[in-house]
Amino acid sequence: MKNMPSAIEWKLSQGVVDYPAAISKMEQRVEAILSGTAPEMVWLLEHPPLYTSGTSAKPADLLDSMRFPVYSAGRGGQFTYHGPGQRVAYIMLDLKRRSAPQAPDLRAYVQQLEQWIIVTLAHFGLKGNVREGRVGVWVNDPNGQEAKIAALGIRIRKWVTYHGISLNVHPDLSHYGGIVPCGISNFGVTSLEALGIKTTLPEVDDVLKQEFGRVFS
């Protein structure tokens, strides 16, 4: 096996990226990481409007199957939405190499993803929280109600991660109306824009990249 390069590659795609093409590229990169021929990667992108279903998705939670394309993602979780104005970060890390000599810890990785989002939100004056039994990161909306601002969905192949997180910066939140997001119907979804925070995807990207090294050191 070749020695794996140690530096993480950051990739930023302009415009929207076709979902099946993204899955194919992630799977190719995972195989390259496993073979030691490519470094770990964080891929920042946007998708066109679409819904994805995870391994725990319930058919009844797809409220409008004709609104946008629906893809089976193979990741953990239930139904979620992706679209313009939402920063998707696909993270391909070798947990086995990172955790040696200890055994890889999937739960610790999920907690790192959550913390990464929380410290990113803090840069914009928002307090993010995690809730037992509710996947993702939550904030309080202007009415004091909890709303989801970021989703998590991961998959592992021989301890190399793929899929990742999505953070709502300024998406069209009405697009969530075709699903029950993550199977949770009694809480809403929100975004930085809906909370009165005017920022851009490049500004969010800068913070994500800055905080990643601290959280995943």
CATH of the domain at 126: 3.30.930.10
Q: Is 4 contained in some domain? A: no
Q: Is 163 contained in some domain? A: yes
Alpha-carbon distance of 144 to 166, in angstroms, equals 23
Number of domains in the chain: 1
Q: Is 137 contained in some domain? A: yes
| Catalytic one of 182, 189, 192, 195 | 182
* Residue 182 known to be catalytic: yes
Report the pLDDT value the prediction gives residue 122, as an integer from 0 to 100. 98
| Residue 75 clears pLDDT 90, i.e. is over it | no
Report the pLDDT value the prediction gives residue 6, as an integer from 0 to 100. 60
pLDDT per residue as tens digits for the range 152-190: 999 999 999 999 999 999 999 999 999 988 777 778 899
Q: Is 1 contained in some domain? A: no
Q: Is 71 contained in some domain? A: yes
pLDDT bin (cut points 50, 70, 90) of residue 135 is confident
| Residue 64 clears pLDDT 50, i.e. is over it | yes
Q: Is 62 helix (H, G, I), strand (E, B) or coil?
A: strand
Q: Is 43 contained in some domain? A: yes
Q: Is 42 contained in some domain? A: yes
Tokens of 91: 């993270």
pLDDT per residue as tens digits for the range 2-47: 444 468 999 999 999 999 999 999 999 999 999 999 999 999 999 9
- Domain residues for 48? 9-215
Q: Is 178 contained in some domain? A: yes
